[in-house]
Amino acid sequence: MDRQVPRVGYRFIRVDADTKAALPAPEVRPALAVLPFSNLSGDPRQDSFADGIADEIIAALSRFRSFAVIARDCSFAYKGNATDVRKIAAELGVSYVLEGSIRQSGTRLRIVAELVEGQSGTHMWAQTFDGTLDEIFDFQDQITERVATLIEPLIQTAEIERSRRERPGNVATYDIYLQALAKISSETESDNAAAYALLMQGLAAEPDNAQLLAHATWALEHRYTMGWPALTDDDVQACAALARRALEHGAGDAMVMAHCGVALMQTDYDWGLAVLQAAAESNPNNPMAVVRAGVGHLHCGDIRDAFRHFHRANRLTPGDRGAHFSLCGIAHAHVILGEDDQAVAWASRALASNPNFEATLWVLIAASAHLGRMEEAHRHLAALRRLTPDITIERVRAGQAGKYPDRIAAVLDGMRLAGVPAGKANEIRKMRPCFSQGRISSTAGVDPGRPKLWSGWGRELEIRAEARRWKRPAGPFVPSAHLSRLQRSA
């Protein structure tokens, strides 16, 4: 039987003109319009459901800062009009348009969502969602989550290609940012260094640009995490300084917080974890924010929370770009728990997603060695040495946040079994500052102060970090299987 199932959505979404844009200037960010979904069911009572889907997608997409979302009142002015999408894009001044339709047969619903390039009218992506009226709210949430997760990487990829095609060699800050984004995503040492150089070039022109600062933070953090040669006199300290500046100028941006939180964990475990938690809460549909919260818990929090975030990120990006982050995180957590069979299974999926992500090879080497599969461990070690010929245990250890050393110890033990050399503690220039109870020591010559965030958001994070420090649970989740392994190795 046909039923009307209303859903309350956000009526009006607008980017505040006083808010600092994360990208160089508001006018250069790509803009997206979400049109009202067409009700093709023949039942006018489903209009509110169709509008509710568009409303919730607008609300979810408005949490992303890398593109602008046109206000609902503007895009809904085209409701019921069979207007060419290219004309709509031109009139609204947007580069991309999201449209969709709803069909109904009995209690079954079919929703089709499509992303269209505004100038050419080319269809960039489309997906069909099937559900029932009996689970209407869950169905609507599923559509919103999936669409919100996919749109940003689709737009980023299109913008990178547009920049290469239409503006090759352009030195505008936005194009520099896009060039750096393409390189930093490749996960190779040489491209990482090239990305950092581009980001520094952009920051010379716009020193307060939060996205440039955050991605430069990511580039340096990834270098010392992977054990690559330093680009500065001290990558850890330079990275922390970039992170502080990024948070000052990009308060509330989930992607900025996600990149900065991991870097801050190197100098203040609880503060960094609080920033990562805030990133995931700020935009739960941003896979990078969610997966980095998982990384925070993996090294400095609760393993169970790490699993929760990694599995959510994996659900958001099944087979998509960046899936290797969550898959590798799950695998690493299984190694910590002594569940090496499962670790190999998850890490193998991560390797298939991105063969250049070295942390995946660490886990595969370690888990295979723990299982006695030395031939497999040596095969993965050979692949790792092709990426980093001088890999050592100390290089890997040096780049990890050290609040709970046992979280990386299981991986290091397995790598040692497979024949990775120990290395020297000082082989990487100033890889680690001095630590004292989770904070950077004054003996390291670095100001231990946190970012001065002139907002209630910043103060909330300060309070949350202090609460975590002084009101700890009985203790971190200690995997008994890993303790047994350490006792055996001792």
Residues 421-436 have pLDDT tens digits of 998 765 554 433 322 2
The better pLDDT of the pair 473, 117 is held by: 117
Single-letter amino acid, residue 127: Q
Model confidence at 291, pLDDT cuts 50, 70, 90, reads very high
Would you say residue 206 has pLDDT above 50?
A: yes
Give the helix/strand (H/E) hosting 255.
helix 254-264
| % residues pLDDT > 70 (the chain) | 79
Would you say residue 183 has pLDDT above 80?
A: yes
Tokens matching residue 383: 């692949």
What integer pLDDT is reported at residue 426 of this predicted model? 56
Q: How far is CA 219 from CA 186, 223, 397, in A?
A: 11, 6, 18
Of 105-119, 246-260, 470-484, least confident by mean pLDDT is 470-484
Does 242-489 match 26-151 at the fold level? no
Q: Look-up: residue for tokens 């980001």?
A: 199
| % residues pLDDT > 90 (the chain) | 48
Angstrom distance (rounded) from CA 271 to CA 303: 18
Give the helix/strand (H/E) hosting 275.
helix 269-282
What integer pLDDT is reported at residue 31 of this predicted model? 92
- Dihedral sign (CA 174, 179, 180, 185): positive
Q: What dotted CATH number matches 242-489?
A: 1.25.40.10
Are the C-beta atoms of residues 313 and 294 closer than 8 Å to each other? yes
Angstrom distance (rounded) from CA 51 to CA 76: 9
Angstrom distance (rounded) from CA 444 to CA 440: 7
- On average, the pLDDT of the chain sits at 80
Model confidence at 391, pLDDT cuts 50, 70, 90, reads very high
Highest averaged pLDDT of the listed ranges 64-78, 171-185, 346-360 = 346-360
Tokens matching residue 81: 């009009």
Angstrom distance (rounded) from CA 45 to CA 48: 7
- Cβ within 8 Å of residue 474, ≥6 positions away: none
CATH fold of 26-151: Rossmann fold (3.40.50)
Listed residue (257, 71, 32) closest to 150, CA to CA: 32
130, β-bridge pairs: 110
Angstrom distance (rounded) from CA 23 to CA 19: 12
Would you say residue 343 has pLDDT above 50?
A: yes
Q: Where are the domains of the chain?
A: 26-151, 242-489
Return the ∠ at Cα 117 (arms to 112 and 119), rounded to 5°: 140
- The string of DSSP letters for 61-130 reads HTT-SSSEE--HHHHGGGTT----HHHHHHHHT-SEEEEEEEEEETTEEEEEEEEEETTT--EEEEEEEE
How far is C-alpha 19 from the geometric centre of its chain's CA atoms?
A: 22
- Cβ within 8 Å of residue 334, ≥6 positions away: 340, 342, 343, 346, 367
Would you say residue 45 has pLDDT above 70?
A: yes
Model confidence at 318, pLDDT cuts 50, 70, 90, reads low
Angstrom distance (rounded) from CA 394 to CA 410: 14
Q: How far is CA 381 from CA 306, 391, 425, in A?
A: 26, 10, 21
The better pLDDT of the pair 460, 426 is held by: 426
3-state secondary structure at position 469? helix
Model confidence at 320, pLDDT cuts 50, 70, 90, reads low
3-state secondary structure at position 24? coil
Of 153-167, 181-195, 266-280, 403-417, least confident by mean pLDDT is 153-167
Would you say residue 5 has pLDDT above 90?
A: no
Q: Which residues of 121-137 are buried (b: 16+ CB within 10 A; e: fewer)?
A: eeebeeeebebebeebe
- Phi, psi (deg, nearest 5) at residue 14: -140, 140
